[in-house]
Amino acid sequence: MLQKTSHFMRQANLINGEWVQADSGQTIDVNNPATGLKIGTVPKAGKAETRRAIEAAEEAFKSWRKTTALERSKLLRKLHDAMMDNQDVLAELLTIEQGKSLAESKGEIGSSAAYILWFAEEGRRVYGDIVPSPWGDRRILVTKEPVGVIAAITPWNFPSSMLARKIGPALAAGCTAVVKPASQTPYSGLAWGALVEEVGFPKGVVNVVTGSAGEIGDELCTNPLVKKITFTGSTEIGKLLIQKSASTVKKVSMELGGNAPFLVFDDADVDRAVAGAVTAKYRNSGQTCVCTNRFLVQAGIYDQFVEKLAAASNNLKVGSGLEEGVQQGPLIDEK
């Protein structure tokens, strides 16, 4: 169903199928990085709210794990369709809180939906193994089972697609989730809560909490009901999460800081090299984990490459991501 942008801009947390505020009543301001103006607030939740979200996910897991792969696939397909039906308004919301151009935001929503569709089908092909038995009267079967409640902590640079890559496989496998979106871009994460609710996922299967990164992160890492942590962000924070998760021996998936040299050799097609360099360096205003952090160019082509790259850089249109034709939006904040 086609909705308005405001419909997905939820200023509450989703816990056990209910949209709720923080126990303290405190909120966090969310600003448009293009204007610096406040666009809304979200709850400043802490340990208690996170614990309730985990408990809701654990309770939902008892029945969700028993659904068939086909049932889960059908719901994920509905989620994909709902995202594509609302691609434009979800992209607008993403641009308002994150700053990237509408074209990039629309592409991110499309890729998010594509991830969900892929996992919807892959979830139907989770096969086990038959292990040769040393006993003639016994068979050894290996089956794959959902791990349980997963915690997904997502970054602000790709607030929708990073979440798709985390909860997509979790839901397809029969796991339930507690999501902590970045405080700079919480609305894209909360929009996922609205979407899963509307397409028919049972309450508690997906929970979204915003607020204190330290308190929420501590509870997610130390609560024994959480069986897996998946995080995309800095290496420093990734190490900290691994350390905190050690006491409960959780499974962890970490996508941490990148290192991205761009090499140009003398026999390169200069125009194609420049086009590739512009994409690699300026995508999302350079705020990606694979953003080019140094150019290594052979001497024979150096001057020509630098001249053309400078010209291409000067031709980029900079401004608010909501303006037509803008290629470079603002940085997320002054940090």
Report the CATH number at residue 187: 3.40.605.10
At residue 290's C-alpha, the angle toward residues 287 and 293, to 5°, is 80
With bands split at pLDDT 50, 70 and 90, how would you rate the model's confidence at 288? confident
With bands split at pLDDT 50, 70 and 90, how would you rate the model's confidence at 81? very high
Q: What is the pTM of this model?
A: 0.91
Does 307 reside within a domain?
Answer: yes
Region 23-51: mean pLDDT is 96
Measure the CA–CA gap between 114 and 2, rounded to whole angstroms: 18
Same-domain status, 79 and 173: yes
Residue 6: CB partners within 8 Å, gap ≥ 6? none
The answer to whether 291 touches 280, Cβ cutoff 8 Å, is yes
Does 332 reside within a domain?
Answer: no
* For residue 304, pLDDT beyond 70: yes
Region 187-201: mean pLDDT is 97
With bands split at pLDDT 50, 70 and 90, how would you rate the model's confidence at 296? very high
Task: Name the token pair of 173.
Answer: 């496998």
Same-domain status, 267 and 192: no
In this structure, the chain runs to a length of 335
Does 324 reside within a domain?
Answer: no
The sign of the dihedral angle between the CA atoms of 220, 54, 27, 155 is positive
Q: What pLDDT shows up at residue 227?
A: 98
* For residue 1, pLDDT beyond 80: no
Integer-rounded Cα Rg, in Å, for the chain is 22
CA 73 → CA 1, 171, 294, distances in Å?
Answer: 19, 9, 43
Same-domain status, 84 and 212: yes
Same-domain status, 49 and 11: yes
Same-domain status, 232 and 299: no
Looking at the DSSP assignment, which residues form a beta bridge with residue 130?
Answer: 141
Region 27-40: mean pLDDT is 94
CA 147 → CA 41, 176, 253, distances in Å?
Answer: 34, 9, 13
Looking at the DSSP assignment, which residues form a beta bridge with residue 253?
Answer: 230
Q: What pLDDT shows up at residue 162?
A: 96
Same-domain status, 269 and 245: no
Residue 291 annotated among the catalytic residues of the structure? no
Does 113 reside within a domain?
Answer: yes
**What domain range is 307 assigned to?**
261-314
Does 233 reside within a domain?
Answer: yes
Residue 255 annotated among the catalytic residues of the structure? yes
Same-domain status, 279 and 205: no
Q: Which of 122, 198, 215, 289 is flagged as catalytic?
A: 289
With bands split at pLDDT 50, 70 and 90, how would you rate the model's confidence at 3? low
Closest CA to 72 of 156, 177, 182, 185: 177
Q: What pLDDT shows up at residue 143?
A: 92
Same-domain status, 135 and 17: yes
Same-domain status, 91 and 176: yes
pLDDT, the chain, mean? 94
Region 278-294: mean pLDDT is 87
Number of independent structural domains in the chain: 2
* For residue 60, pLDDT beyond 80: yes
Measure the CA–CA gap between 159 and 171, rounded to whole angstroms: 18
Same-domain status, 77 and 153: yes
Q: In terms of C-beta density within 10 A (0-12 exposed, 13-18 middle, 19 or more buried), how is residue 333 classed?
A: exposed
Measure the CA–CA gap between 42 and 22, rounded to whole angstroms: 9
Region 305-309: mean pLDDT is 96
Region 286-293: mean pLDDT is 85
Q: What pLDDT shows up at residue 299?
A: 96
What's the start-to-end Cα distance of the chain, in Å? 38
Which amino acid does the sequence have at 329? Answer: G
Q: Which of 198, 215, 255, 291 is flagged as catalytic?
A: 255
Model confidence pLDDT, tens digit, residues 61-77: 999 999 999 999 999 99
Does 323 reside within a domain?
Answer: no
DSSP 266: T
Does 18 reside within a domain?
Answer: yes
Same-domain status, 162 and 290: no
Region 36-59: mean pLDDT is 97
Does 184 reside within a domain?
Answer: yes
Same-domain status, 220 and 268: no
Region 201-209: mean pLDDT is 98
Task: Name the token pair of 325.
Answer: 């034709």
With bands split at pLDDT 50, 70 and 90, how would you rate the model's confidence at 259? confident
Q: What pLDDT shows up at residue 46?
A: 96
The answer to whether 102 touches 92, Cβ cutoff 8 Å, is yes
Q: What pLDDT shows up at residue 2?
A: 55
